Chain A
Amino acid sequence: MSELLVVENLQKHFPVTHGLVFQRQVGAVKAVDGVSFTVNAGETLGVVGESGCGKSTMARCIARLLQPTGGKIIFDGRDITTLNRSDMRPIRREMMMVFQDPYASLNPRKRVGAIVGEPLEVHNIGTDTERKRRVQELLEIVGLNSEHYNRFPHEFSGGQRQRIGIARALAVNPKLIICDEPVSALDVSVQAQILNLLKDLQKDFGLTYIFIAHDLNVVRHVSERVMVMYLGKAVELGSRDQLYREPKHPYSGALLSAVPIADPELGRSRKPIVLQGDVPSPLNPPKACPFHTRCPRFVEGKCDVDTPLLESVGGDGTHLSACHFPLEHWPMTEDEMRRVQGATPVGAAD
């Protein structure tokens, strides 16, 4: 399996300045704070995390829509981290994005044909006639009517607009498509249509996906490997089965535990782990482990002093977690989580 994308220690810090005339930097929002992972050709890497974890910022850094402040992005063997605009241009054909909001990501003043054809125009692909034919072909591929070529976005539903966005992403035959919450804004029945479409397209065109979502059920369904992010850091990375059957990081456990289950008997028989408090601000992240302020396994003197690194949790080295006291088994209740082997966490019952 070849590695299509290698991300090493990616960092994106947004400076916070004080003053109008002389802007002094007084702090930084560490939106992405040292994230490393690889994506193999043809696979789907799911990225999950809640608001403010940095997953969208990370996606934009990879696509070079934002300039990283640190780290490396190696795409198809080439270091693209600091490429200038003209060198980046041919790479942009290979890496496209599908966005969350089907109402905001399409230019309302352009017709659908022009929207889907824009990448072809930008990259100077084909003649006008060839482009038109290609666009009509793409509309059919994503399940729309090629006759809709001359319509405006507002004439379509949310699900259809998302299909237009996907058609646009496909136009230049990219290798990688970064999907940033592509189905969150859609009704459940339409969501299924789009997920099925994305899977079919992956098979038909040999696509690689980075699939960012907050819905763990959706991520489970589409991904081969999954990365969990919290406050700008990757806290767990592994195969789908590894993460969903044997999560190692307490935050992953809490996330899995919090997902409502569409089965009344199953759902009500379990005791979910309910985290206290809110996610801290990325302006002032907690010292060492970013999760320690809410972690049921928090051990004072260790978790707030030593930053845990993303390390293998055993087996064949494909399952990584950034935790000093990874979960020993799963499922676990909150009480069981508090009983850390080898240390006494704060707040554990005796």
Chain B
Amino acid sequence: MPPALEVKDLTTRFRTDDGIVQAVSGVSFSVEQGATLGVVGESGSGKSVTFLTVMGLVDPRQADVTGSVLLHGEEMLHASQHRMREIRGVKIGMIFQDPMTSLNPVKTIGWQLEEAVLIHQDVSKKEARRRAIEVLKQVEIPHADRRVDDYPHQFSGGMRQRVMIAMALINNPEILIADEPTTALDVTTQAQILRLMERLQQEFRMAIVMITHDLGVVAELADEVIVMYGGRVVEQAKVNDLFAKPEMPYTWGLLGSLPRLNSSGGRLEQIPGQPPSLLHPPSGCPFNPRCEYVMNICSEQLPELDPSPVGDDHRYRCHLDDETRARIWTQKRAAMVSEDAA
């Protein structure tokens, strides 16, 4: 059975007045049906543009896209607009970060949910409404049969995000792409939404792509993780392996810079500088200008995504040799653990 989504060597470049923005460069990954892929990255990592490209939401008049996007084995990348409209909202659902800007403020949520059904399915309005109420119940909106006629502003932030999830699910997609779905929400609401997504995934065997900068969310939900930086995948692994033995300096930096619930307030590991410009990306490894362990070769040659000593499933980009990397991580790990114990 082919993976739900398979992306191979995806590259997206935007033509702008200032030059070419290399938003996504050679990104590859796959998501199995029923599994969750975590996509971790900060501003400018290319994580959002990757999935806008996958969904065909990137304007071909401004962007050059190459590579391959296979949805259950079917090539989507240069599919016709007509085919994309059949796929978006039906086979792939997408939810975005800010529910208030994603919902139309002058239409009831019932109208918006029904629209999602009627555009893609040949059913009556009555059936569309029935389906709208059903999906609102599935996302645990109380009094769904009444609230279906309310407007977005009559819902709280957490409720609106549930409505977004309902809209993404209404046509039973095989994959759900969630771009920072809980970043704008309070932590207790976030917990509710994450529980909900887990439950829905189990019930419907959906594949989920969870795009986030929050490593805690990734640790809780993801089966596999890819770390993106400067438009590229710099590490990918099963979630336990990524947190147990990260293999490259950016990932070490990310893990080390997290204040943890059991930390005693020592200095946090900080990554100096800021994410690279994608207009003029660094040559060689995208992380080299900020890397504590940089060598000459790092700005000359992009490291390949090599398998780790542990296995093929875990891949990383770095010119440092296995021994050095293992030694550095052991040191960093020890420092983090001793801080926890203090």
A residues contacting B by CB (< 8 A) are 50-51, 157-160, 187-193, 195-196, 199, 214-218, 220-222, 240, 244, 254-265, 267-268, 272, 274-275, 277-279
Contact = CB atoms under 8 A, between A and B. Distances in A.
A258 B191 contact: yes
Contacts of A275: 188, 191-192
Contacts of A50: 186-189
Given A195-B259, A265-B240, A188 B213 contact: yes
A221 B217 CA distance: 19
Nearest to A258: B191
B220 A260 contact: yes
Contacts of B253: 189
A262 B263 contact: no
Contacts, number: 134
B270 A274 contact: no
Contact of B195 (A191, A274, A279): A274
Interface stretch (B106-114, B153-161, B310-318): B153-161
- Chain A interface, DSSP helix/strand/loop, else mixed: helix
B216 A187 contact: no
Nearest to A159: B274
A192 B255 contact: no
A193 B187 contact: no
Interface of B: 42-43, 142, 156-159, 186-192, 194-195, 213-220, 239-240, 243, 253-263, 265, 267-272, 274-275
Given A187-B213, A189-B254, A221 B263 contact: yes
A267 B216 CA distance: 8
A64 B270 CA distance: 35
Nearest to B225: A264
Given A50-B186, A263-B243, 6 more contacts: A50-B188, A196-B267, A254-B188, A261-B260, A274-B195, A278-B156
A193 B271 CA distance: 7
Ranked 3 nearest A-B pairs via Cβ = A260-B216, A221-B259, A192-B257
A136 B240 CA distance: 47
10 contacts: A191-B257, A193-B270, A217-B261, A221-B265, A222-B259, A222-B265, A258-B188, A260-B219, A262-B216, A262-B219
